[in-house]
């Protein structure tokens, strides 16, 4: 029993020493994530205001800014993993994300089709807010346009 306790204590001390040694890298990774998220919020707010002012379609502007923000945050997370000493995990995460995308694509096929339809509607814009439309048996004025739904 005494031998087990001494081995456990030795393992705990070595893990603690490894944690303390890698603490600066982990803190750097956390700082990169926090600063990256703040920067993404700042720049996407500026970009959205500029796009809404210059674009006739606020839906497209919101879609583009959300997509760019998502891509930027993914890049920041990958950079933080490298800075945190977890660079080997990045490749595994990307491989798992690719495999998951295929599985989720088949599982949520209908939702994906609706989302893609919303993106196509956002860019083609067959109707606008306050237009009167007839869609199958629904007749009314368009109140709001989003990527996932159109409020009539």
Average pLDDT of the residues of the chain: 81
Do residues 133 and 142 make contact, with C-beta atoms less than 8 angstroms apart? yes
Could you tell me if residue 23 is inside a domain?
A: yes
Could you tell me if residue 10 is inside a domain?
A: yes
Specify the pLDDT at position 32: 93
Residue bearing tokens 């891509």: 71
Which of 143, 148, 139, 152 is closest to 121 using CA atoms? 148
In this prediction, residues 55-60 reach a mean pLDDT of: 73
Lowest mean pLDDT, pick from 103-112, 118-127, 134-143:
118-127
DSSP assigned state of 133 = E
Could you tell me if residue 18 is inside a domain?
A: yes
Work out how many domains the chain is built from and give that number: 1
The pLDDT tens digits of the residues spanning 127-140 come to 777 888 877 787 88
In this prediction, residues 81-97 reach a mean pLDDT of: 82
- Band of residue 8 on the pLDDT scale cut at 50, 70, 90: low
Do residues 83 and 23 make contact, with C-beta atoms less than 8 angstroms apart? no
Specify the pLDDT at position 42: 93
List the domain range (segments joined by +) for residue 16.
2-87
The residues, any chain, with a CB within 8 Å of residue 146's CB and separated by 6 or more, are 59, 118
3-state helix, strand, coil in the chain (%, to 5): 75, 10, 15
DSSP assigned state of 151 = E
DSSP assigned state of 34 = H
Which of 149, 121, 151, 146 is closest to 62 using CA atoms? 146
Question: Would you say residue 36 has pLDDT above 90?
Answer: yes
Specify the pLDDT at position 95: 84
Considering 12-16, 34-38, 48-52, the range whose residues carry the highest mean pLDDT is 34-38
């Amino acid at each position: 029993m005494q031998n087990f306790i001494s081995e456990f204590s030795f393992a705990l001390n070595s893990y603690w020493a490894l944690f303390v040694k890698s603490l600066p890298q982990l803190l750097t990774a956390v700082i990169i994530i926090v600063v990256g998220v703040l920067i993404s919020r700042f720049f996407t707010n500026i970009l959205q205001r500029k796009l809404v002012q210059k674009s006739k379609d606020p839906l497209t502007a919101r879609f583009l800014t959300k997509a760019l923000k998502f891509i930027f945050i993914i890049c920041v997370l990958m950079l933080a993993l490298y800075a945190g000493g977890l660079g080997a995990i990045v490749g595994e995460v990307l491989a798992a994300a690719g495999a998951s995308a295929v599985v989720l694509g088949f599982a949520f096929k209908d939702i994906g089709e609706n989302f893609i339809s919303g993106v196509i509607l956002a860019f083609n814009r067959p109707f606008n807010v306050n237009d009167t439309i007839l869609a199958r048996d629904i007749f009314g004025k368009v109140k709001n346009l989003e990527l996932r739904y159109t409020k009539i």
